[in-house]
Structure 1
Amino acid sequence: MHSPIDLRKKLVQVTLEKKKLTNVVARVGIVLDITGSMQTLYKNGTVQEVVERILAVASKFDDNGALDVWVYDTHFSRLPSVTEQDFGQYVQNNILNNNAIHKFGRNNEPPVMEDVIKKYTDEEDDGTPVFIIFINDGGVVKPIKKVITAASVHPIFWQFVGIGHSDFEVLRQLDTMEGRVVDNANFFHLDDIAAVTDEVLYDQLLNEFPSWLKAAREKRIIR
């Protein structure tokens, strides 16, 4: 019997082959919105499912198979990485049952983004490409544009995923933002992430990562 994570890794492999990413090594992280409007998705298991689906990507890309995790509302928390050995009940055990985490408030993205940048460019700077999946359900504050622009010199690609029914005005402008060394961010919107197949999700997640890798190599942002 194959576990769901094994089946998902096979689907990720198909996507990697299609997008010519099979030889790429990358660090993978996920940033999870934990504002008030996300409460139902945490409690009904949707966020746990998202973590498991993204873990399959990390398992194929990352040399140690770990998915780095952050959550944020007005505050943020950097959490233990999740692996194939300990993903069961990760959200319940590490987020919902963790009283140290500020949860279900309003959103403020720049502080958590600065911490992501700090981890990969200061604390653990080894030049490996970094693929960040940023889950958000209510639009973002406009100052993220400055953070993304400043971060374009770093080996980090930001894949924003909007879920739910907000208009995501700021995120929809990412592809036309000027002043960056390379286009280091992408956005797509899913009304209901739980209703999207793994095949479609992985195809969309990895849609612009290859072109960023090419541009980042040309600019010597990554080796």
Structure 2
Amino acid sequence: MSTIDLRKKTVGLLLEKKKLSGIVARVGLVLDITGSMRKLYNNGTVQEVVERILAIACKFDDNGELDVWVYDHEFSRLPSVTERDFAGYVQSRILGDPSIHKFGRNNEPLVMEDIVRKYTKEEPDSTPVFIIFINDGGVVNPTKKTLTEAAVHPIFWQFVGIGDSDFEVLSQLDTLPGRVVDNANFFPIADITTITDEELYDKLLNEFPLWLKEAKAIGILR
């Protein structure tokens, strides 16, 4: 079996364990491309992240597509990636594209607002949205307000902190008061290249089932 097939199998087994088999969701990946991430783009770590998250989209999304954004103080909405064209995606679609702003400073609200716009204005749908948000620290404080306002939408935000930052703002997003529903989770990983697929997928899918239940109960999901 290919690596992507093995990862899809691992995700499938975990979905059965968490009673998520049959759940359909649109899946998006947001990648920090600020200056401190340069090494992880150049050494292949980000490409590996894309491939690992793609396995989740293959099991959740009805067309097997993973929507992708990158951001620093600007953002780019990229072509979706599938298991047919993921090889070399980071090099060809991100690093090799001069139109994409790279290695600047953080501004999370801009990209988050575009995500909400895509799934609620441009492509409105009752299908839940599962966003995996990769960041290595330095999140701006207004992100809290953006996340709070987004709680009324059928979007769950799974924030993943990579590296050794203190993740002060990210760690607060999981427990923000004033939201109609808890629409986010956060966990840190010191080195994302050393965590197994099983561990990563288990962490990524830990709170999504709880949100599905709560969002349905208050009418955000049908």
TM-score normalised by length of structure 2: 0.99
Alpha-carbon displacement from aligned partner over 1:100-143 (angstroms, at most 9, x marks no partner): 00001111100000000000000011111000000000231010
Shift of 1:173: 1.3
Aligned equivalent of 1:146: 145
Q: Which runs of 4+ in 1 moved over 4 A?
A: none
Superposition RMSD on alpha carbons, in Å? Answer: 0.6
More displaced, 119-128 or 168-177? 168-177
Shift of 1:175: 2.6
Alpha-carbon displacement from aligned partner over 1:177-214 (angstroms, at most 9, x marks no partner): 11101000000000000110000000000000000000
CA distance in 2, matches of 1:158, 1:56: 18
State whether structure 2 residue 118 is matched by structure 1 residue 110. Answer: no
Residue pairs, 1:7-156, within 5 angstroms:
7-156=6-155
- SS of 2:151's partner is helix
Specify the code of the residue in structure 1 equivalent to 2:177: E
CA distance in 2, matches of 1:176, 1:57: 25
State whether structure 2 residue 207 is matched by structure 1 residue 221. Answer: no
CA distance in 2, matches of 1:79, 1:86: 13
Specify the code of the residue in structure 2 equivalent to 1:143: P
CA distance in 2, matches of 1:208, 1:164: 22
CA distance in 1, matches of 2:216, 2:154: 9
CA distance in 2, matches of 1:153, 1:58: 23
- SS of 1:173's partner is helix
Specify the code of the residue in structure 1 equivalent to 2:221: I
State whether structure 2 residue 190 is matched by structure 1 residue 191. Answer: yes
Report the identity percentage: 73
Shift of 1:42: 0.4
Change (3 A) 1:175 1:138: closer
CA distance in 1, matches of 2:33, 2:109: 15
Aligned equivalent of 1:159: 158
CA distance in 2, matches of 1:71, 1:161: 14
CA distance in 2, matches of 1:169, 1:19: 30
Shift of 1:148: 0.6
Shift of 1:14: 1.1
CA contact (8 A) 1:139 1:162 kept: no
Alignment size in residue pairs: 222
Long gaps (5+) in structure 2:
none
- SS of 1:28's partner is strand
Alpha-carbon displacement from aligned partner over 1:48-87 (angstroms, at most 9, x marks no partner): 0000000000000000000000000000000000001100
CA distance in 2, matches of 1:123, 1:151: 16
CA distance in 1, matches of 2:49, 2:175: 28
